[in-house]
Every structure is written in structure tokens, then in C-alpha cells.
Structure 1
Amino acid sequence: MAELRHARLGVLELASAAGPGHRFDKHSHDEFVISANLRGDEQVWLDGRTFEAGAGAITTYNPGQIQGGGVAGDRPWHFVSLYVTPDRLADSLGLDTLEFARPLRHLPALAEALAGAVQAGLQTDPFQRERAEERLTLLLGEVARAAGVRLPGCADAGRGPVQRLQEWLAADLQETPDLDAMATHVGLSKFHLLRSFQQQVGLSPRQWAMQLRTRRAQALLRAGRPATDVAHVLGFADQSHLSRYFRAAYGISPGRFQRALRG
């Protein structure tokens, strides 16, 4: 099969592969494993049971479960997988423990969403990777529900935690804390925090911080600060990183924006 693309993203390990089929010997993992099949008819062996996972299937494996199978070598196969330790998955979802009860569900839309988020998490752009971690944390909640996990009720957290996080992020845009630190700061699970923030603000924390960065960049550029200085002050990796997001927000590069103001 094609070589796996593999990377760590926060508490998650991500993998993606596309190419000719492959069969895996029977094995197990210490982590929870979640796979989304985009193409191919995978034959799965799991703790003495066999089933088929076609395109659009999501398969979930508990730590220690013996699994095996794959796709015949003359057939194309495309899948993505997530690996996360039991304690980190439970903590992310606000649970003490959990176990997947249903190993297979046919959920094409969720499979595509997982695949898109995994691909974003495999990119080199740090903001895209951070955004992918947020998306995957929310999607893990959907996967867990589909696999028979009962999540704790996420009652309305109120405006307080979201406002505290906004104030914290705005205080130092050069250094955005990781998702674990955000959740700890407001006393919520990562899943609950992201869902509450999205519901109240319409953006994820990373998206909100980035739009604030670009807004402040516009003010500094308007005041005549060089783009290189603006990028550094606001925590962009470099000037090109600033340009990419400034153009996406305002339809114009920082340089052209300043030239237009000088008129």
C-alpha cells in the first residue's frame, strides 16, 4: 500500500493513506483507534467477528482489541485514522472513562469531515494545524456518540467562560495557548469549550484569535508600521503568513493596503 502520512497533533496521532490495498496482520493498540474509510471495501476482523467497512464507514476500536484485515492488493484504498490514549480521549470529552460499543457505522458525511480535518492537521501551517485540532475534537464527540458513548450533558456554560477566554487570548496575541491550556483556564472539557464558543461567537477560538490578529494588523499597517514588524508583534510566523490571512480577510495584501492609503 502507499506509504502512510503520519503526524502528531496535540493529544492525537493522525494517519492518512491512499494507494493499492493492503492487509494487516492481527494486532492491537494501547490507544483508541478511529478510522474513516473513503475508498475501498475493507474486510475487518475484530475480536473474532468479521464485517465489511465500505466507503463512508467509520470503524472504532477500543484499546487492546485484536484487529486485522484490509483491502485486496489489486483494489484502491483510501483511509484516515486517529489514535488517542484512553485518558486523553476521556478528558477531552468530559468523561471519567469510555468504551466504544458499536465498532462500525456508515456515516459518509462524518467520514468526509474527519478526512478533511486530518488532512488539515497534516499540513505545515501552524494555524491550519491548530484549527484542525479544534475540528477533530468536536468530531470526536460525534464519533463517540455514534459508537454508543453517552456524553455528559453540555448545559449552557453561559457567557462567562467564553468571555474569559476571549480576554485571555486578546491579552497576548503573540502567544496563543494550546487547546488544553484554554480548557483548563475556563474549567471546561475541550469538547464543551469548543461547542460553547462556537455557539456563542460563531467561530472557534483559533478563528476568533486570528480575526483579531488581522484586525489589529490592519490598524498597525494604517499607522505606518512595516509589515515585517506587524507580523512579529502579532505572532505570525513571518510576513508571508500575515499576508495570507490579511488577504483572505480583506481581499488585499498588506503592501497594497498601505500603498492605497498613501494614495
Structure 2
Amino acid sequence: MHILQFICEHNGEVSIANLEIETGFSARHLQRIFRNCVGIGPKLYCRIVRFRRAYKEILVGQDLTAIAHNRGFSDQSYFCREFKELSGFTPSEFRHLFLMSVFFKTSPI
């Protein structure tokens, strides 16, 4: 689907107005078609794309402030709230859990 590719190419930093321009559909029609095809609305899909990009950066140890900036969040606090809402964990908790799982998988105990 062209819209999904457009959203991914823009790292999820796309507004409904951008999608209206890109597709030529009204916001209401666009949301209805998107929800029917994907199962969720375009705003949530954009949030998920941003989340997935951010979580990959967290796993490689990138600084949380830099991640927030790179992913288009207004500040680190907003990024942390958004991340926790989607994952159930703060970015720091998520990183810690990942590191612990790696440790226990590689530990000779």
C-alpha cells in the first residue's frame, strides 16, 4: 500500500493533512479506508512506526535525548510517555530488561 510506504519513508512523522495531500482523499475517507485495510487508524500506525524506530535505537544504546530528537518528539519527557503508553515500559526500563535478557542468555550459569 502506497500510504504505508509513505509513512515509513517519513519515519512516521506524517500528519493526516500530509496524507490527504499525498492521496487526494479527505481526512474522513482516508481514515476509513486505512482502518479497513490495516485494522488501525493512520495516527496510531504513525505512532507505531516512530516507536519501532525508537526501540531499535534504544537497543543499540543511543542516548534517549538524541532518540527523542531524531524521532521528532518535542522533548524527552513526551518521548518517554509515548514509549510507555505503547510498550508498558519507560525507555530506560525497556533497555534494562533487554540487557538483562541478553546477560541471562549468554551467562554460563
TM-score (normalised: structure 2): 0.81
The aligned counterpart of 2:3 is 165
**1:247 & 1:259 partners in 2: Cα distance?**
14
**1:173 & 1:231 partners in 2: Cα distance?**
13
**2:89 & 2:17 partners in 1: Cα distance?**
34
Bigger helix fraction:
2
Where do 1:177-256 residues align within 5 Å? 178-256=15-93
8 Å CA contact 2:13–2:50 kept in 1: the answer is: no
Bigger strand fraction:
1
8 Å CA contact 2:11–2:71 kept in 1: the answer is: yes
**1:188 & 1:164 partners in 2: Cα distance?**
13
Q: CA deviation at 1:179?
A: 2.4
**1:259 & 1:220 partners in 2: Cα distance?**
14
**2:80 & 2:73 partners in 1: Cα distance?**
10
Where do 1:1-263 residues align within 5 Å? 163-173=1-11, 175-176=13-14, 178-263=15-100
C-alpha change, 1:215 and 1:174, in structure 2 (3 Å) is: closer
Secondary structure at 2:40 match in 1: coil
State the identity %: 28
**2:13 & 2:32 partners in 1: Cα distance?**
23
**2:17 & 2:99 partners in 1: Cα distance?**
44
- Larger Rg computed on CA atoms: 1
TM-score (normalised: structure 1): 0.36
The aligned counterpart of 2:106 is none
- The gaps in structure 1 that reach 5 residues or longer are 1-162
**2:29 & 2:17 partners in 1: Cα distance?**
12
Number of aligned residue pairs: 100
Aligned AA (2:27): K
**1:215 & 1:180 partners in 2: Cα distance?**
23
**1:261 & 1:181 partners in 2: Cα distance?**
35
Q: Out of 253-262 and 232-241, give the one that drifted further.
A: 253-262
By relative contact order (CA 8 Å, sep 6+), the higher-ranking structure is: 2
8 Å CA contact 2:12–2:49 kept in 1: the answer is: no
